[in-house]
Chain A
Amino acid sequence: MIFNKALILLIFISTLTACGGGGSSGTIQEGITVTFSATPYASTQKMLAGNKTFKTTEGMQITLKKAYLVMWSEKLETDCSSSNFVQWFDWLIPQAVAHAQATPTQLGVPNVIDILSEDANLLKLGEIYPPPATYCGITAELMKADSDAQYLPKDINMLNRVLYVEGEYIPIGKTEAVSFVIDLAKTPRPRNLKLPTSLILSSTNRTAHINFQIQYDRWFDGIDFNALSEESQKDFLLNNVTNSLKYR
Protein backbone atom coordinates (compact mmCIF):
# COMPACT_ATOMS: atom_id res chain seq x y z
CA MET A 1 0.00 0.00 0.00
CA ILE A 2 2.71 2.46 1.02
CA PHE A 3 4.80 1.35 -1.95
CA ASN A 4 1.91 2.06 -4.34
CA LYS A 5 1.41 5.54 -2.94
CA ALA A 6 5.10 6.31 -3.11
CA LEU A 7 5.08 5.21 -6.74
CA ILE A 8 2.11 7.45 -7.53
CA LEU A 9 3.87 10.33 -5.84
CA LEU A 10 7.02 9.72 -7.85
CA ILE A 11 5.10 9.59 -11.12
CA PHE A 12 3.30 12.79 -10.17
CA ILE A 13 6.50 14.68 -9.45
CA SER A 14 8.22 13.40 -12.60
CA THR A 15 5.26 14.30 -14.81
CA LEU A 16 4.94 17.77 -13.40
CA THR A 17 8.61 18.51 -13.65
CA ALA A 18 8.74 17.23 -17.21
CA CYS A 19 5.63 19.11 -18.32
CA GLY A 20 6.37 22.33 -16.56
CA GLY A 21 10.07 22.52 -17.15
CA GLY A 22 9.93 21.66 -20.79
CA GLY A 23 6.95 23.82 -21.66
CA SER A 24 8.23 27.30 -20.99
CA SER A 25 7.47 29.68 -23.81
CA GLY A 26 7.02 33.39 -24.25
CA THR A 27 6.20 35.99 -26.85
CA ILE A 28 6.90 39.69 -26.79
CA GLN A 29 5.12 42.20 -28.97
CA GLU A 30 6.78 45.57 -29.06
CA GLY A 31 4.68 48.58 -28.21
CA ILE A 32 4.87 52.27 -29.01
CA THR A 33 8.43 53.55 -28.86
CA VAL A 34 9.61 57.13 -29.33
CA THR A 35 13.32 57.73 -29.78
CA PHE A 36 14.88 61.08 -28.90
CA SER A 37 18.10 62.34 -30.38
CA ALA A 38 20.00 65.59 -30.59
CA THR A 39 22.45 67.06 -33.02
CA PRO A 40 24.57 70.21 -33.15
CA TYR A 41 23.49 72.36 -36.05
CA ALA A 42 24.79 75.56 -37.57
CA SER A 43 22.23 77.64 -39.43
CA THR A 44 24.71 78.84 -42.05
CA GLN A 45 26.78 75.82 -43.01
CA LYS A 46 27.42 72.28 -41.87
CA MET A 47 30.55 71.97 -39.73
CA LEU A 48 32.70 68.94 -39.09
CA ALA A 49 33.80 67.72 -35.69
CA GLY A 50 36.36 69.92 -33.94
CA ASN A 51 36.66 73.62 -33.34
CA LYS A 52 33.70 75.49 -34.79
CA THR A 53 33.86 79.02 -36.09
CA PHE A 54 30.86 81.17 -36.97
CA LYS A 55 29.59 84.72 -36.76
CA THR A 56 26.92 86.23 -34.56
CA THR A 57 24.13 88.31 -36.08
CA GLU A 58 26.20 91.35 -35.11
CA GLY A 59 29.09 90.01 -37.22
CA MET A 60 31.41 89.04 -34.37
CA GLN A 61 33.48 85.93 -35.10
CA ILE A 62 33.30 83.19 -32.50
CA THR A 63 35.38 80.03 -32.29
CA LEU A 64 34.27 77.26 -29.96
CA LYS A 65 37.07 75.05 -28.62
CA LYS A 66 35.05 73.16 -26.05
CA ALA A 67 31.29 73.22 -25.65
CA TYR A 68 29.06 70.93 -23.63
CA LEU A 69 25.35 71.30 -22.91
CA VAL A 70 23.24 69.14 -20.59
CA MET A 71 19.80 68.13 -21.80
CA TRP A 72 18.11 66.97 -18.62
CA SER A 73 14.77 65.61 -19.80
CA GLU A 74 12.45 65.50 -22.78
CA LYS A 75 8.70 65.10 -22.45
CA LEU A 76 5.87 64.56 -24.90
CA GLU A 77 2.88 66.82 -24.28
CA THR A 78 -0.78 66.26 -25.10
CA ASP A 79 -1.90 69.73 -24.01
CA CYS A 80 -0.21 72.63 -25.74
CA SER A 81 -2.80 75.25 -24.89
CA SER A 82 -1.14 76.39 -21.66
CA SER A 83 0.87 79.57 -21.43
CA ASN A 84 4.03 77.47 -21.24
CA PHE A 85 3.78 76.94 -24.94
CA VAL A 86 3.72 80.64 -25.71
CA GLN A 87 7.13 81.63 -26.95
CA TRP A 88 8.98 83.26 -24.06
CA PHE A 89 11.08 86.32 -24.54
CA ASP A 90 11.84 86.96 -20.94
CA TRP A 91 14.52 85.50 -18.75
CA LEU A 92 15.09 82.61 -16.51
CA ILE A 93 13.05 81.10 -13.79
CA PRO A 94 15.29 79.32 -11.30
CA GLN A 95 14.05 75.83 -10.55
CA ALA A 96 14.78 73.35 -7.82
CA VAL A 97 17.00 70.60 -9.17
CA ALA A 98 15.57 67.15 -8.63
CA HIS A 99 16.43 63.93 -10.32
CA ALA A 100 14.76 63.62 -13.69
CA GLN A 101 11.69 61.41 -13.52
CA ALA A 102 11.41 58.70 -16.12
CA THR A 103 7.77 58.19 -17.10
CA PRO A 104 6.08 56.70 -20.17
CA THR A 105 6.00 60.19 -21.70
CA GLN A 106 9.24 61.60 -20.33
CA LEU A 107 12.81 60.58 -20.91
CA GLY A 108 14.48 61.07 -17.57
CA VAL A 109 18.03 60.35 -18.61
CA PRO A 110 20.26 63.43 -18.61
CA ASN A 111 22.57 63.67 -21.61
CA VAL A 112 25.69 65.74 -22.10
CA ILE A 113 25.80 66.99 -25.68
CA ASP A 114 29.22 67.63 -27.19
CA ILE A 115 28.55 70.62 -29.43
CA LEU A 116 31.88 70.10 -31.18
CA SER A 117 30.79 66.78 -32.63
CA GLU A 118 29.95 66.82 -36.33
CA ASP A 119 26.87 68.78 -37.29
CA ALA A 120 23.86 66.62 -38.14
CA ASN A 121 25.49 63.70 -36.31
CA LEU A 122 22.61 62.17 -34.35
CA LEU A 123 23.30 61.52 -30.70
CA LYS A 124 20.74 59.11 -29.26
CA LEU A 125 19.31 60.44 -26.01
CA GLY A 126 17.07 57.49 -25.23
CA GLU A 127 13.65 55.96 -25.71
CA ILE A 128 10.27 56.34 -24.08
CA TYR A 129 7.23 54.07 -24.30
CA PRO A 130 4.19 56.35 -24.22
CA PRO A 131 0.51 55.41 -24.41
CA PRO A 132 -1.41 55.91 -27.66
CA ALA A 133 -2.45 59.54 -27.94
CA THR A 134 -2.11 62.65 -30.07
CA TYR A 135 0.94 64.60 -28.92
CA CYS A 136 1.15 68.24 -29.87
CA GLY A 137 4.45 69.30 -28.34
CA ILE A 138 7.65 68.56 -26.48
CA THR A 139 9.15 70.06 -23.36
CA ALA A 140 12.90 69.88 -23.01
CA GLU A 141 14.68 70.84 -19.82
CA LEU A 142 18.27 71.92 -19.40
CA MET A 143 19.70 71.27 -15.95
CA LYS A 144 22.90 70.36 -14.17
CA ALA A 145 24.31 66.92 -14.96
CA ASP A 146 24.40 64.31 -12.26
CA SER A 147 26.31 61.05 -12.08
CA ASP A 148 23.56 59.25 -14.04
CA ALA A 149 24.09 61.46 -17.07
CA GLN A 150 25.03 59.82 -20.36
CA TYR A 151 28.02 60.88 -22.46
CA LEU A 152 29.88 62.55 -19.59
CA PRO A 153 33.08 63.92 -21.19
CA LYS A 154 36.53 63.04 -19.96
CA ASP A 155 38.18 66.42 -20.46
CA ILE A 156 35.69 68.43 -18.38
CA ASN A 157 33.82 67.41 -15.26
CA MET A 158 30.25 68.26 -16.21
CA LEU A 159 28.71 67.21 -12.89
CA ASN A 160 26.68 70.14 -11.54
CA ARG A 161 27.13 72.07 -14.76
CA VAL A 162 24.49 72.98 -17.35
CA LEU A 163 26.74 74.65 -19.91
CA TYR A 164 30.49 74.78 -20.33
CA VAL A 165 32.12 76.62 -23.21
CA GLU A 166 35.74 77.49 -23.97
CA GLY A 167 36.49 79.59 -26.99
CA GLU A 168 37.56 82.92 -28.35
CA TYR A 169 35.97 85.85 -30.11
CA ILE A 170 37.28 88.60 -32.32
CA PRO A 171 35.72 91.95 -31.41
CA ILE A 172 34.24 93.81 -34.34
CA GLY A 173 36.83 96.03 -35.98
CA LYS A 174 39.71 94.17 -34.39
CA THR A 175 41.88 91.25 -35.48
CA GLU A 176 43.10 89.84 -32.20
CA ALA A 177 41.15 86.99 -30.65
CA VAL A 178 40.10 87.16 -27.03
CA SER A 179 39.66 83.94 -25.04
CA PHE A 180 36.60 83.31 -22.91
CA VAL A 181 35.19 80.61 -20.66
CA ILE A 182 31.53 80.18 -19.82
CA ASP A 183 30.71 77.90 -16.92
CA LEU A 184 27.02 77.91 -15.91
CA ALA A 185 25.00 75.87 -13.44
CA LYS A 186 21.77 77.87 -13.60
CA THR A 187 18.56 76.25 -14.75
CA PRO A 188 16.90 78.02 -17.65
CA ARG A 189 13.17 77.95 -18.34
CA PRO A 190 12.06 74.70 -20.02
CA ARG A 191 11.91 74.78 -23.78
CA ASN A 192 8.37 74.16 -25.00
CA LEU A 193 8.18 73.24 -28.64
CA LYS A 194 4.94 72.82 -30.53
CA LEU A 195 5.16 70.14 -33.18
CA PRO A 196 4.37 71.45 -36.67
CA THR A 197 1.99 68.52 -37.11
CA SER A 198 0.67 66.53 -34.18
CA LEU A 199 2.32 63.21 -33.53
CA ILE A 200 -0.36 60.53 -33.52
CA LEU A 201 0.77 57.34 -31.83
CA SER A 202 -1.52 54.35 -32.14
CA SER A 203 -1.59 50.61 -32.74
CA THR A 204 -0.90 51.30 -36.40
CA ASN A 205 1.80 53.93 -35.77
CA ARG A 206 4.04 52.52 -33.07
CA THR A 207 7.35 54.22 -33.66
CA ALA A 208 8.50 57.81 -33.89
CA HIS A 209 11.80 59.67 -33.87
CA ILE A 210 12.20 63.15 -32.48
CA ASN A 211 15.42 64.99 -33.07
CA PHE A 212 16.49 68.22 -31.44
CA GLN A 213 18.70 70.51 -33.44
CA ILE A 214 20.89 72.67 -31.24
CA GLN A 215 21.65 75.81 -33.22
CA TYR A 216 24.81 76.72 -31.34
CA ASP A 217 25.75 79.50 -33.81
CA ARG A 218 22.90 81.58 -32.39
CA TRP A 219 24.03 81.30 -28.76
CA PHE A 220 26.08 84.50 -28.75
CA ASP A 221 23.74 86.79 -30.67
CA GLY A 222 23.45 90.05 -28.74
CA ILE A 223 25.93 89.02 -26.06
CA ASP A 224 28.20 91.68 -24.61
CA PHE A 225 31.45 89.80 -24.08
CA ASN A 226 32.83 92.61 -21.99
CA ALA A 227 30.11 91.94 -19.44
CA LEU A 228 30.10 88.15 -19.52
CA SER A 229 30.64 87.93 -15.79
CA GLU A 230 27.40 89.80 -15.12
CA GLU A 231 24.32 87.76 -14.28
CA SER A 232 22.20 89.53 -16.87
CA GLN A 233 24.57 88.48 -19.66
CA LYS A 234 24.69 84.89 -18.37
CA ASP A 235 20.92 84.83 -18.31
CA PHE A 236 20.76 86.31 -21.80
CA LEU A 237 23.14 83.61 -23.01
CA LEU A 238 21.15 80.81 -21.38
CA ASN A 239 17.99 82.18 -22.94
CA ASN A 240 19.72 82.04 -26.33
CA VAL A 241 20.80 78.47 -25.62
CA THR A 242 17.26 77.45 -24.67
CA ASN A 243 15.83 79.06 -27.78
CA SER A 244 18.45 77.33 -29.92
CA LEU A 245 16.71 73.98 -29.37
CA LYS A 246 14.63 73.26 -32.45
CA TYR A 247 12.54 70.28 -33.47
CA ARG A 248 13.44 68.64 -36.75
Chain B
Amino acid sequence: MVGDPTLTLMGTEKSFIGRLRFSADYLSRIEKMGLEGFNQVKLTEQRVTFGVGYAWDEKLNLSMRLPIVRKQLQFVNLAEQTHTGMGDLELSAKWTLFSDDQHQHRHLWGIVGGARIPTTIKINNLDIDGQSGTGAFVPNVGLWYGFYEYPYFLYASSVYHYAFEGFDKFKAGDAVVSTLAGQFALDHSFAIQLALETSWSQQNKMNSQADPDSGGTLGFLSPKLIYSITPDILVNLGVQIPVIKKLKGHHQEDTTLQFGVVYDF
Protein backbone atom coordinates (compact mmCIF):
# COMPACT_ATOMS: atom_id res chain seq x y z
CA MET B 1 0.00 0.00 0.00
CA VAL B 2 1.09 3.53 -0.64
CA GLY B 3 0.59 6.95 0.92
CA ASP B 4 1.69 8.71 4.06
CA PRO B 5 -0.75 7.98 6.89
CA THR B 6 0.83 10.62 9.09
CA LEU B 7 -0.46 13.22 6.67
CA THR B 8 -4.03 12.66 7.80
CA LEU B 9 -3.41 11.84 11.39
CA MET B 10 -0.84 14.48 12.16
CA GLY B 11 -2.44 17.06 9.95
CA THR B 12 -1.49 19.34 7.16
CA GLU B 13 -1.35 22.25 9.52
CA LYS B 14 1.13 22.99 12.26
CA SER B 15 -0.04 21.34 15.43
CA PHE B 16 -0.21 22.84 18.89
CA ILE B 17 1.19 21.25 22.02
CA GLY B 18 -1.08 18.67 23.57
CA ARG B 19 -3.35 18.24 20.55
CA LEU B 20 -5.05 14.86 20.63
CA ARG B 21 -6.50 13.77 17.33
CA PHE B 22 -8.64 10.78 16.44
CA SER B 23 -9.04 9.45 12.93
CA ALA B 24 -11.01 6.75 11.23
CA ASP B 25 -10.22 5.89 7.62
CA TYR B 26 -12.06 3.54 5.32
CA LEU B 27 -10.24 2.04 2.35
CA SER B 28 -11.42 -0.29 -0.36
CA ARG B 29 -9.12 -1.81 -2.93
CA ILE B 30 -8.68 -4.70 -5.35
CA GLU B 31 -5.38 -6.35 -6.22
CA LYS B 32 -4.80 -9.14 -8.71
CA MET B 33 -1.72 -11.36 -8.61
CA GLY B 34 -0.84 -13.95 -11.20
CA LEU B 35 -1.91 -14.71 -14.74
CA GLU B 36 -5.62 -14.38 -15.48
CA GLY B 37 -7.30 -17.71 -16.13
CA PHE B 38 -4.22 -19.59 -15.03
CA ASN B 39 -3.03 -18.84 -11.50
CA GLN B 40 -4.50 -15.44 -10.72
CA VAL B 41 -5.53 -14.62 -7.16
CA LYS B 42 -7.91 -11.69 -6.68
CA LEU B 43 -7.75 -9.86 -3.38
CA THR B 44 -10.64 -7.62 -2.38
CA GLU B 45 -9.81 -5.67 0.72
CA GLN B 46 -11.73 -3.29 2.90
CA ARG B 47 -10.20 -1.82 5.99
CA VAL B 48 -11.17 0.67 8.63
CA THR B 49 -8.13 2.09 10.34
CA PHE B 50 -8.55 3.82 13.67
CA GLY B 51 -5.81 6.16 14.74
CA VAL B 52 -4.83 8.59 17.44
CA GLY B 53 -2.20 11.27 17.15
CA TYR B 54 -0.75 13.31 19.95
CA ALA B 55 1.41 16.42 19.67
CA TRP B 56 3.93 15.97 22.44
CA ASP B 57 5.40 19.37 21.83
CA GLU B 58 6.00 21.65 18.88
CA LYS B 59 8.55 19.31 17.42
CA LEU B 60 7.32 15.84 18.20
CA ASN B 61 4.11 14.18 17.02
CA LEU B 62 3.24 10.64 18.02
CA SER B 63 0.63 8.42 16.44
CA MET B 64 -0.82 4.97 16.61
CA ARG B 65 -3.02 3.26 14.02
CA LEU B 66 -4.83 -0.02 14.18
CA PRO B 67 -6.73 -1.45 11.20
CA ILE B 68 -9.73 -3.74 11.22
CA VAL B 69 -9.42 -5.61 7.95
CA ARG B 70 -11.79 -7.63 5.81
CA LYS B 71 -10.15 -9.59 3.03
CA GLN B 72 -11.55 -11.86 0.40
CA LEU B 73 -9.28 -13.98 -1.74
CA GLN B 74 -10.64 -15.56 -4.90
CA PHE B 75 -8.47 -18.21 -6.50
CA VAL B 76 -8.47 -19.34 -10.08
CA ASN B 77 -9.94 -22.73 -9.09
CA LEU B 78 -13.02 -20.93 -7.62
CA ALA B 79 -11.81 -21.38 -4.04
CA GLU B 80 -12.54 -18.45 -1.75
CA GLN B 81 -11.13 -17.34 1.57
CA THR B 82 -12.76 -14.58 3.58
CA HIS B 83 -11.42 -13.16 6.79
CA THR B 84 -12.15 -10.25 9.09
CA GLY B 85 -9.79 -9.34 11.88
CA MET B 86 -7.42 -6.95 13.50
CA GLY B 87 -4.37 -6.00 11.49
CA ASP B 88 -0.93 -5.01 12.64
CA LEU B 89 -0.58 -2.00 14.93
CA GLU B 90 1.38 0.91 13.48
CA LEU B 91 3.32 3.26 15.73
CA SER B 92 5.02 6.32 14.34
CA ALA B 93 6.76 9.48 15.42
CA LYS B 94 7.31 12.59 13.40
CA TRP B 95 10.00 14.93 14.58
CA THR B 96 10.58 18.42 13.27
CA LEU B 97 14.30 19.03 12.91
CA PHE B 98 14.01 22.40 11.24
CA SER B 99 11.38 25.11 11.40
CA ASP B 100 11.72 28.35 9.56
CA ASP B 101 10.99 30.63 12.54
CA GLN B 102 11.88 33.79 10.63
CA HIS B 103 9.03 33.16 8.21
CA GLN B 104 6.35 31.98 10.60
CA HIS B 105 7.30 28.32 10.15
CA ARG B 106 6.83 28.45 6.39
CA HIS B 107 9.30 25.63 5.83
CA LEU B 108 9.43 22.60 8.08
CA TRP B 109 11.28 19.36 7.68
CA GLY B 110 12.30 16.49 9.82
CA ILE B 111 12.39 12.76 10.20
CA VAL B 112 9.62 10.24 10.52
CA GLY B 113 9.98 6.77 11.88
CA GLY B 114 8.11 3.98 13.51
CA ALA B 115 7.23 0.36 13.28
CA ARG B 116 4.44 -2.00 12.44
CA ILE B 117 3.91 -4.30 15.38
CA PRO B 118 2.66 -7.86 14.71
CA THR B 119 -0.69 -7.74 16.49
CA THR B 120 -2.53 -9.77 13.85
CA ILE B 121 -3.90 -13.09 15.00
CA LYS B 122 -2.99 -15.73 12.46
CA ILE B 123 -5.82 -17.78 11.01
CA ASN B 124 -4.67 -21.29 10.16
CA ASN B 125 -5.22 -22.60 6.62
CA LEU B 126 -5.56 -19.06 5.33
CA ASP B 127 -3.23 -17.89 2.58
CA ILE B 128 -0.74 -15.19 3.64
CA ASP B 129 -2.50 -12.70 1.35
CA GLY B 130 -5.76 -13.43 3.14
CA GLN B 131 -4.45 -12.74 6.64
CA SER B 132 -5.36 -9.35 8.09
CA GLY B 133 -1.66 -8.62 8.58
CA THR B 134 1.64 -10.25 7.83
CA GLY B 135 2.50 -10.81 11.48
CA ALA B 136 5.89 -9.23 10.97
CA PHE B 137 7.80 -6.51 12.76
CA VAL B 138 8.35 -3.77 10.19
CA PRO B 139 10.43 -0.78 11.28
CA ASN B 140 10.55 2.28 9.05
CA VAL B 141 12.41 5.54 8.86
CA GLY B 142 12.31 8.49 6.49
CA LEU B 143 12.33 12.20 5.85
CA TRP B 144 9.50 14.67 5.43
CA TYR B 145 9.17 18.25 4.30
CA GLY B 146 6.29 20.70 4.55
CA PHE B 147 5.75 24.13 3.06
CA TYR B 148 3.01 26.24 4.57
CA GLU B 149 1.63 29.38 3.05
CA TYR B 150 -2.11 29.67 3.25
CA PRO B 151 -4.00 28.74 1.12
CA TYR B 152 -1.22 26.50 -0.17
CA PHE B 153 0.39 23.55 1.45
CA LEU B 154 3.05 21.34 -0.04
CA TYR B 155 4.26 18.14 1.50
CA ALA B 156 6.81 15.50 0.61
CA SER B 157 7.96 12.41 2.42
CA SER B 158 9.94 9.31 1.66
CA VAL B 159 10.03 6.39 4.06
CA TYR B 160 12.04 3.19 3.93
CA HIS B 161 10.36 0.05 5.32
CA TYR B 162 12.24 -3.09 6.29
CA ALA B 163 10.15 -6.16 7.04
CA PHE B 164 11.28 -9.02 9.22
CA GLU B 165 9.88 -12.49 8.67
CA GLY B 166 6.20 -12.91 9.55
CA PHE B 167 3.61 -15.69 9.27
CA ASP B 168 4.55 -18.79 7.26
CA LYS B 169 8.12 -17.50 6.81
CA PHE B 170 6.74 -14.70 4.65
CA LYS B 171 9.04 -11.74 4.28
CA ALA B 172 7.81 -8.64 2.50
CA GLY B 173 10.40 -6.99 0.28
CA ASP B 174 12.17 -3.83 1.39
CA ALA B 175 10.09 -0.87 0.31
CA VAL B 176 10.43 2.87 -0.16
CA VAL B 177 7.12 4.69 0.03
CA SER B 178 7.08 8.29 -1.13
CA THR B 179 4.45 11.01 -1.19
CA LEU B 180 4.39 14.34 -2.97
CA ALA B 181 1.23 16.26 -2.14
CA GLY B 182 -0.11 19.71 -2.81
CA GLN B 183 -3.15 21.20 -1.14
CA PHE B 184 -5.17 24.30 -1.88
CA ALA B 185 -7.73 25.68 0.54
CA LEU B 186 -10.71 27.19 -1.22
CA ASP B 187 -11.73 28.69 2.10
CA HIS B 188 -11.24 27.86 5.76
CA SER B 189 -13.48 24.83 5.56
CA PHE B 190 -12.83 23.28 2.18
CA ALA B 191 -9.59 22.17 0.55
CA ILE B 192 -8.56 20.07 -2.39
CA GLN B 193 -5.47 17.95 -2.41
CA LEU B 194 -3.58 16.21 -5.17
CA ALA B 195 -0.81 13.76 -4.42
CA LEU B 196 1.52 11.47 -6.27
CA GLU B 197 2.03 8.46 -4.06
CA THR B 198 4.62 5.92 -5.10
CA SER B 199 5.96 2.71 -3.76
CA TRP B 200 9.07 0.83 -4.83
CA SER B 201 9.59 -2.57 -3.32
CA GLN B 202 11.69 -5.65 -3.69
CA GLN B 203 10.05 -8.99 -4.29
CA ASN B 204 8.36 -10.71 -1.37
CA LYS B 205 9.79 -13.99 -0.23
CA MET B 206 8.17 -17.10 1.17
CA ASN B 207 10.54 -19.70 2.60
CA SER B 208 13.38 -17.70 0.99
CA GLN B 209 11.75 -18.18 -2.44
CA ALA B 210 10.98 -14.94 -4.28
CA ASP B 211 7.37 -14.40 -5.33
CA PRO B 212 7.61 -13.64 -9.07
CA ASP B 213 4.35 -11.70 -8.96
CA SER B 214 5.48 -9.13 -6.41
CA GLY B 215 7.75 -6.13 -6.14
CA GLY B 216 8.38 -3.28 -8.53
CA THR B 217 7.23 0.30 -8.76
CA LEU B 218 3.69 1.49 -8.34
CA GLY B 219 2.47 5.07 -8.48
CA PHE B 220 -0.95 6.49 -7.69
CA LEU B 221 -2.40 9.86 -8.53
CA SER B 222 -4.51 10.70 -5.52
CA PRO B 223 -7.03 13.53 -5.65
CA LYS B 224 -8.76 14.21 -2.36
CA LEU B 225 -11.45 16.53 -1.04
CA ILE B 226 -11.16 17.77 2.55
CA TYR B 227 -14.03 19.44 4.31
CA SER B 228 -14.14 20.87 7.79
CA ILE B 229 -17.61 20.30 9.24
CA THR B 230 -16.68 22.13 12.43
CA PRO B 231 -13.27 23.43 13.52
CA ASP B 232 -12.77 20.06 15.26
CA ILE B 233 -14.09 17.68 12.62
CA LEU B 234 -12.58 17.08 9.20
CA VAL B 235 -13.82 14.64 6.60
CA ASN B 236 -11.94 13.60 3.52
CA LEU B 237 -12.82 11.63 0.44
CA GLY B 238 -10.33 10.53 -2.16
CA VAL B 239 -9.27 7.96 -4.67
CA GLN B 240 -5.92 6.52 -5.61
CA ILE B 241 -5.66 6.01 -9.34
CA PRO B 242 -2.79 3.79 -10.47
CA VAL B 243 -0.74 5.71 -13.04
CA ILE B 244 2.68 4.06 -12.74
CA LYS B 245 2.49 0.30 -13.07
CA LYS B 246 5.95 -1.16 -13.27
CA LEU B 247 5.28 -4.19 -11.15
CA LYS B 248 7.15 -7.43 -11.57
CA GLY B 249 5.41 -10.52 -12.89
CA HIS B 250 1.66 -10.52 -13.22
CA HIS B 251 0.40 -8.07 -10.66
CA GLN B 252 -2.32 -5.49 -10.97
CA GLU B 253 -3.70 -2.83 -8.63
CA ASP B 254 -7.06 -1.20 -9.26
CA THR B 255 -8.25 2.22 -8.12
CA THR B 256 -8.49 2.57 -4.37
CA LEU B 257 -11.33 4.40 -2.62
CA GLN B 258 -10.66 6.23 0.62
CA PHE B 259 -12.93 7.98 3.09
CA GLY B 260 -11.87 9.40 6.43
CA VAL B 261 -12.90 11.46 9.39
CA VAL B 262 -10.64 13.31 11.80
CA TYR B 263 -11.67 14.65 15.18
CA ASP B 264 -9.66 16.91 17.46
CA PHE B 265 -10.35 16.54 21.17
- B208 at interface, CB cutoff 8 A: no
State the 8 A-B residue pairs at the shortest beta-carbon distance, nearest first: A20-B86, A31-B79, A24-B85, A31-B77, A26-B83, A129-B77, A32-B77, A131-B76
Binds A, one of B120-128, B164-172, B239-247: B120-128
Contacts of B84 in A (CB 8 A): 23-26
Chain B, 25-75, CB within 8 A of any chain A CB:
37-39, 50, 52, 54, 64, 66, 68, 75
Q: Which one of A6-14, A38-46, A116-124, A153-161 contacts B?
A: A6-14
Give the CA-CA distance A2 to B56 in the complex, in Å: 11
Which of A26, A103, A129 has most chain B Cβ within 10 Å? A26
Residue pair A103, B77 in contact (C-beta under 8 Å): no
User: Can you list 21 residue pairs at the A/B interface with Cβ under 8 Å?
Assistant: A5-B265, A16-B50, A19-B86, A20-B119, A21-B121, A23-B84, A23-B86, A24-B83, A25-B85, A26-B84, A26-B85, A26-B126, A26-B130, A27-B81, A28-B80, A28-B82, A28-B125, A29-B79, A31-B78, A33-B77, A203-B78
A205 to B77, CA, bound (A): 11
The answer to whether B66 touches A206 (Cβ under 8 A) is no
Residues of A within 8 A of B85 (CB): 20, 23-26
Q: Are B76 and A28 in contact (CB under 8 A)?
A: no
Neighbouring B residues of A17 by C-beta, 8 Å:
66, 86
Whether the Cβ atoms of A20 and B66 lie closer than 8 Å is yes
Q: In the complex, A31 Cα to B22 Cα: how many Å?
A: 42
**Chain B residue with the shortest CB-CB distance to A4:** B265
Q: Hey, which chain A residues are within 8 Å of B52, CB to CB? A: 9, 12
Flag whether A1 is at the interface (Cβ < 8 A). Answer: yes
B22 to chain A, nearest CB (A): 7
Residues of chain B contacted by A131 (CB below 8 angstroms): 37-38, 76-78
The answer, yes or no, to whether A126 is at the interface (CB within 8 Å) is no
From B18, B78, B79, residue with most partner A Cβ within 10 Å: B78
**B8 at the A interface (CB under 8 A):** no
Q: In the complex, what residues of A have CB within 8 A of residue B86's CB?
A: 16-17, 19-21, 23-24
- Quick check: is B132 within 8 A (CB to CB) of the other chain? yes
Q: Give B117 Cβ to nearest chain A Cβ, in Å.
A: 12
* A203→B82 CA distance, assembly (Å): 18
Please give 14 more A-B residue pairs, beta carbons under 8 A apart, in addition to A19-B86, A29-B80.
A4-B265, A5-B18, A9-B20, A16-B66, A24-B85, A25-B85, A26-B81, A26-B126, A27-B83, A28-B80, A31-B75, A31-B77, A129-B75, A129-B77
Known contacts A24-B84, A131-B38; A13/B78 CB under 8 A: no
